[in-house]
A = this chain, B = another copy of it.
Amino acid sequence: MSQNPTLKKIAERLNISISTVSRALKDHPDVSPETKRKVNELATLIEYDPNPYAVNLRTHSSKEFAIIVPSLSNYFYHSFISSIEEDARIYGYTVIIYRSSNDPQIELEILKSCRHKRVSGIFIAITAQTKDMNPFLKLDIQGIPVVFFDKVPSYESCNKICVGDAHAAALAAGEILKKGKKNILAIFGDPNMSITKARLNRFTDCLQESDPTIFLDVIYAASSEETEKKVLKTLSKGLKKDFAVFCMSDEILAGAMKAIQRMGLKAPEDLGVIAISDGMIPQLFYPEITYAETSGFKLGKLAFSRMMKCISGSSFVQTIIDESVLVSGGSL
């Protein structure tokens, strides 16, 4: 059983005290250059690395960020996570990824575990049912900063980094108008989610304000399968003139495309298709689907810099909105 190298071992081998070794390793000004050299040499040789549990027990800091997401099967979250990991690495932080499975109960357990582990900070996209803000306030009191992203609570006084839902919806609506579409089938997700509300309101407002003659059919679907069924039903009634389908998310886009292909229809010839998306699914089709991009990567950068401000003691909270751009794929 090869034991891990410890400060004690280095101290013994070098015949100096543990305190001095500890200081030498942190380049403390008190220690002589000569001692530092010797200590560092040996430390490198035996691959010394401080025991994180001991350090944490002493210092109460973990150099660890937690990212909590409802689901992992989502390209948007991947890019968010990648983005955070990239920055965290630079600052010497480790990233732990937790998945709440969209279950408030599991989310609560994860939060508790984060509290006990005294993580340095938490990035979280909450579940659709998360109502109780108390666990988050508790974390705050303990000095663990929380940065909400994407799926955020309506509670005012917290740090939120959001996709510009309204803006993305406006971009999509604008493109629909530009292309002269008059009959719109718009499909939205769970009406409880903050993002659904924001996207829906702006989308309908934009269309109706600009052109009152537009016929807008709004439907909701909780899953890809439900979307497919509902779209199929609508399409099988026959295609209207200047028809376009708007999908508020990737999941919905997947279902809609299934129905469209099933009916043997082609975009943009038979109908227009446009979505709000992270860009993965739109690119699987030809022509690629036109979409308003929600970039997890950019959101990650914004969230990380907000987090670092919290850690360095800034107590004021902020809501940051990342505006999307329109990516034209030829489907509209």
Contact = CB atoms under 8 A, between A and B. Distances in A.
A72 B73 CA distance: 8
Interface stretch (A19-27, A177-185, A255-263): A255-263
A302 B262 CA distance: 37
A286 B266 CA distance: 12
Contacts of A126: none
A73 B280 contact: yes
A317 to B, nearest CB: 19
Given A72-B72, A72-B78, A82-B99, A1 B53 contact: no
A254 B188 CA distance: 26
Interface residues of A, number: 44
Contact of A73 (B78, B94, B97): B78
Contacts of A51: 57, 116
A297 interface: no
Contact of A284 (B96, B113, B257): B257
A116 B4 contact: yes
Interface in A250-293: 254, 257-258, 261-262, 280-281, 283-286
A262 B75 CA distance: 24
A219 B283 CA distance: 22
Contact of A113 (B54, B56, B94): B94
Interface in A119-178: 138, 141-143
Nearest to A142: B2
A202 interface: no
Contacts of A75: 73
Nearest to A47: B112
5 cross-chain pairs, A with B, having the tightest CB-CB distances, nearest first: A261-B286, A97-B97, A53-B56, A53-B53, A262-B286
7 contacts: A1-B142, A4-B115, A49-B112, A51-B116, A73-B78, A73-B280, A254-B283
Interface of A: 1-2, 4, 49-54, 56-57, 72-73, 75, 78, 81-82, 85, 94, 96-97, 99, 101, 112-113, 115-118, 138, 141-143, 254, 257-258, 261-262, 280-281, 283-286
